[in-house]
Structure 1
Amino acid sequence: MKLSILDRSRTRRGAPDSAALTGTIERAVYAEHLGFERFWVAEHHAVPGIASGSPPVLLAALGARTSRIRLGSGGVMLPNHQPLVVAEQFLILEAMYPGRIDLGVGRSLGFTKPVREALRRDRNAPDTFADDLDEVRSYLEGKGAVTARPQVATPPPMFVLATRRGLDFAAKAGLPVVVGGPILHGAGARIPELDRYRDSFVPSAAHRDPYVMISLEVMIAENDDRARELLLPEAWALAQSSRTGEFPPLESVADIRTQPWTPRLREQVDATIASSIHGDAEQVKVALDALSARTGADELLASTSTFDRDALFESDRLLSLLDV
């Protein structure tokens, strides 16, 4: 598998949000040095724990600091945007950094009702994702009702952040997919939804063959206990969000351990850590090889976060050395 990174610009307790963005830029520069295939950023609105609300703006900064690594969105949430505007933003990026830009698109709405209202999104509005997908692509390829500018020699490739239903959209449209979450953790030797995507894939001008990228947290440390400890801040934040409705900044392991733990909280934290791949380098390689066999994936998009930036960078370094 090719190896890539998704960085969500996670904020940290006690540090300004700007430090999260600076950290993303530093990590992208390091990822390029390590030889990763891609470095993607995310779109989250009004979330205390995430500083990245505008992938195109952040990608422009990343492009200025790197020279080879592919840069993209994981992803732009189409329900929040007009297709023409999305196409224009990524055509500008492609014109500035030719051959290095990816457009990953998803369909998630805002995390809370006030955020959805601020985005002018109604949870009960008709689902126009498939049509929006086609419209964005038509503008990128210069075939839309109007001509999106700037025109470029080769439009940036599109990827679909896919749920089970999204896999069907992507197959029909002839687009690569990014999959994560529960679909990767079911029982069985193979994942039937991915096999169905490949079997029903309709070749497109840009993509003659199906392409699957799998996304999950991958943490490598000196041993399994240390890797689990490094995963704790992200797992804790996720558990807190289910309790409070607000996804918080990362906290240090020491601070987390001083706080009260309910049985439900411990169960949620343990489940989140269990859904990741973690351990020393050899343990992670074995687990990734097994996941590769189950999914037939072409690429891994590691979405790892932790409070300790040095440990995160070391995990990235160790991951880059694996032959998977």
Structure 2
Amino acid sequence: MTDQQLPLSVLDFATVYPGESPREAFQRSDELAQEAERLGYLRIWYSEHHNMPSIASSSPAVLISHVAAVTSTIRLGSGGVMLPNHSPLVVAEQFGTLAELYPDRIDLGLGRAPGTDQRTVQALRRSPRAAENFPEDVLELRGYLAGRSRVAGVQAVPGADTEVPLYILGSSLFGANLAAQLGLPYSFASHFAPDALVPAVTAYRENYQPSEAFPEPYVIAAVNVTASDTEEDAARQNEICRRRRVESMAVRRSAPLSEEELDLLMSSPAADQVLSMLRYHAVGTGEQVADYLQGFARHAQADELMVAPQNTSTSEMLRGLEITAAATGLSPQ
């Protein structure tokens, strides 16, 4: 990693704001992708979550196909597909289909967490022990996409020979060591799991085994960003986002909290635990955000940063992307 222009990408949760439906979240994803493409961002990834009312990206492959149809150049991928929830063959077929429809635009990020709670894991019909097979499942999936199936007599159609690039996602040393062993790029979830960032990336770089597709290690680090025209407005948006995050993660009930109840919750140990997940967060004007991102990239030894926008409306999110792009020197199309 150097101080040269770093690629910037976007992590889109297809966030469902209060009072919205998933349809409105998907419309926002369209706008975000089109604007990110225009501004020069490299890629957008969608994360697989289940049973979370505020996140609509439960089916990344379906959402990728839709967004790819309304964009033309930006790379699209999963950040990630939670592989223990699926058979490697089905994932290879899904992303092989995407690769055939949208050549040289599709990424496949893979995680081993379920992306949900244990009750939903049961509803997904997956064994709680499925994550133990993650390394073998990655190898099986890579074999399908390379046209060198590890299962006799079984090929991914479509999928074979598409060579969709794989990325290992993680928030611990496990993912870092696996990515290094397999010679794959590594994406660290520092936007919500900051604690192991430095040791995991260090282990990945020190133990990297070059592969034909990726002769050098490659690190993507995710970071929260709230950019606005003024420092005061960025702080305002940040406070709203912090309160939403605490409410969504610390409270398991359908009815929203009153402002008074949320005020009390914000000063609780539960809120402190949730907010500690947002340690890496650039908040401020374009200049302030750019300075933060440059320092964070050095800290994370990152080759690319994946921005997780933290804004309170569609217009503010799009404006934040624009401010960040201009301040960091991205080249608009």
TM-score normalised by length of structure 2? 0.87
Q: For 1:204-252, what per-residue CA distance to the aligned partner results, in whole angstroms no more than 9, with x for missing partners? A: 1211111000002111113333223212343223322443246999x9x
Residue 307 of structure 1: aligned partner: 312
Q: For 1:18-77, what per-residue CA distance to the aligned partner results, in whole angstroms no more than 9, with x for missing partners? A: 100111111111111111100111211121111111011111111111110001011000
2:231 corresponds to 1:228: no
Quote the Cα distance in structure 1 between the aligned partners of 2:84 and 2:237: 34
2:264 corresponds to 1:261: yes
Contact 1:160 1:175 in 2 (8 A): yes
Amino acid at match of 2:264: W
Q: Sort the Cα spacing of 1:291 and 1:246 in 2 relative to 1 into closer, same or farther, 3 A.
A: farther
Amino acid at match of 2:156: A
Residue 168 of structure 1: aligned partner: 177
2:19 corresponds to 1:10: no
SS where residue 221 of structure 2 aligns? strand
Quote the Cα distance in structure 2 between the aligned partners of 1:50 and 1:248: 17
Amino acid at match of 1:229: R
Tell me by how many angstroms 1:143 deviates.
0.5
Residue 205 of structure 1: aligned partner: 212
Quote the Cα distance in structure 2 between the aligned partners of 1:166 and 1:270: 24
Residue 277 of structure 1: aligned partner: 282
Amino acid at match of 2:212: A
Residue 36 of structure 1: aligned partner: 41
SS where residue 322 of structure 1 aligns? helix
Tell me by how many angstroms 1:319 deviates.
1.2
Q: Sort the Cα spacing of 1:171 and 1:256 in 2 relative to 1 into closer, same or farther, 3 A.
A: farther
Residue 86 of structure 1: aligned partner: 91
SS where residue 53 of structure 2 aligns? coil
**Mapping of residues 150-161 of structure 1, within 5 Å:** 150-151=158-159, 154-161=162-169
Q: For 1:84-140, what per-residue CA distance to the aligned partner results, in whole angstroms no more than 9, with x for missing partners? A: 000110010000000000001111114223211101234355611111111110001
SS where residue 264 of structure 2 aligns? coil
Cα RMSD (Å) of the superposition?
2.5
Q: Which of 138, 142, 149 is 1:137 aligned to? A: 142
2:29 corresponds to 1:24: yes
2:57 corresponds to 1:52: yes
Number of residues of Structure 1 aligned to a counterpart in Structure 2: 317
* Unaligned ranges ≥5, structure 1: none
Residue 178 of structure 1: aligned partner: 187
SS where residue 218 of structure 1 aligns? strand
Quote the Cα distance in structure 2 between the aligned partners of 1:185 and 1:79: 24
2:80 corresponds to 1:71: no
Tell me by how many angstroms 1:266 deviates.
5.8
Tell me by how many angstroms 1:301 deviates.
0.6
Contact 2:146 2:161 in 1 (8 A): no
Contact 2:194 2:279 in 1 (8 A): no
Contact 1:94 1:152 in 2 (8 A): no
Residue 123 of structure 1: aligned partner: 128
Q: For 1:277-303, what per-residue CA distance to the aligned partner results, in whole angstroms no more than 9, with x for missing partners? A: 111111111111111222221101111
2:199 corresponds to 1:196: no
TM-score normalised by length of structure 1? 0.89
* Unaligned ranges ≥5, structure 2: 1-5
Question: What is the percent sequence identity of the aligned residues?
Answer: 34
Q: Sort the Cα spacing of 1:247 and 1:94 in 2 relative to 1 into closer, same or farther, 3 A.
A: farther
Residue 104 of structure 1: aligned partner: 109
